[in-house]
Structure 1
Amino acid sequence: MLGQGGFECVFHRFDEDGDGKISANDLRRCLAVVGAEEGAQEEVEAIVKALDMDGDGMLDVEEFVGLMKEERAEEMREAFEKYLMDGSECITPRSLKRMLSRLGESRTVGECQHMISQFDLNRDGVICYNEFLVMMQ
């Protein structure tokens, strides 16, 4: 997983002139490198405008890292939700078994319970979103 330092490295790679700023065009290329969907020019310009705190039409490193963290948080939430079923807000042994089966891995409910127990910090038998985040690091 790309952390803040990794995001800063990506930022500096695309800050070709070294002025500490990247443009909307540069941002489109950055987002593609870190795996985000490539947005239309208008969308990227809107993102820059929304995050540009000093009004210069460009993103500095802090603004960029904030965007990348937001993108990563959205990806993590979407990944977590793929494991949920039956209106549950947590990953249960049964929902884990189902998702693993979809991924081509056959596991018993007991094996899934054991897998969950490795990251079940509050020992309630399920993985909540915060535990999922710990597990994915």
Structure 2
Amino acid sequence: MATSGEFRRVFSAFDQDGDGKISMAELRLCMKAALGGDMSAEEVQALMASADADGDGQLDEEEFVRLVREAEAGQEEEGDRCREAFGMYEMQGRGCITPLSLKLMMSRLGLHLDVNECQAMIRRFDLNGDGVLTFYEFKTMMMMA
């Protein structure tokens, strides 16, 4: 979790005109830089509305910190769900998803694949080339889905 000083630095970076508030335009520009993609005006407006407690159409530092903390909490919750899902696929106690454990889980889900098909699925996200999926590789795969 970020510290108060880190929040202040990020807030200052978003508050490009230095007026102590983050406008929709500033939020959209910084989200584009942070995410590497453009958010629609509607998405930025919804994000702003969800955090703008005083309804002035801008985020002060307190509103901004609350928004960031909620986003961090959501990421932690998402990580917990991802870890739970990983545990369902990782059945052999090895701390990774093997072609066989993937095959077994896919069978439980009603998808009957052979080991070669499971190996091919793993290869797509096997970043270190060891033939299995670590939690990090699984999480990357889930974000791409």
Task: Name the TM tier (shorter chain).
Answer: 0.5 to 0.7
* TM-score normalised over the length of structure 2: 0.57
Check 1:62–1:14 CA distance in 2 against 1; reply closer, same or farther (3 A cut).
closer
Structure 1 residues 60 and 14, CA gap change in structure 2 (3 angstroms) = closer
Contact 1:12 1:18 in 2 (8 A): yes
Number of the residue aligned with 1:66: 72
C-alpha distance after superposition, 1:46-77 (max 9, x if no partner): xxxxxxxx8xxxx7112111111111111111
What is the percentage of aligned positions where both structures have the same residue? 43
- Structure 1: 4+ residue segments shifted above 4 A: 8-11, 14-17
Q: Which amino acid aligns with 2:96?
A: C
Q: Structure 1's 13 and 94: CA in aligned 2 closer, same or farther, altered over 3 A? A: same
Provide TM-score, normalisation by structure 1. Answer: 0.60
Q: What's the C-alpha RMSD, in Å, of the aligned pairs?
A: 2.8
Query: Contact conserved, 1:11 with 1:61, CA < 8 A, in 2?
Result: no
Which residue matches 2:99?
93
Q: Which has the higher contact order (CA 8 A, sep 6+)?
A: 1
Check if 1:107 corresponds to 2:144. no
Structure 2 distance, partners of 1:11, 1:89, is: 40
**C-alpha separation between the residues in 2 aligned to 1:69 and 1:10?**
16
Residues 51, 67 of structure 2: 8 Å contact kept: no
The Cα offsets for residues 19-54 of structure 1, whole Å up to 9 and x where unpaired, read as 769xxxxxxxxxxxxxxxxxxxxxxxxxxxxxxxx8
Q: Higher helix fraction: Structure 1 or Structure 2?
A: 2
Q: Decide whether aligned partners of structure 1 residues 125 and 75 sit closer, same or farther in structure 2, where only a CA change above 3 A counts.
A: same
Partner of 1:129: 135
**Secondary structure, in 3 states, of the residue corresponding to 2:111?**
coil
CA contact (8 A) 2:51 2:66 kept: no
The aligned counterpart of 2:55 is 18
Q: Which ranges in structure 1 are unaligned for 5 or more consecutive residues? A: 22-53
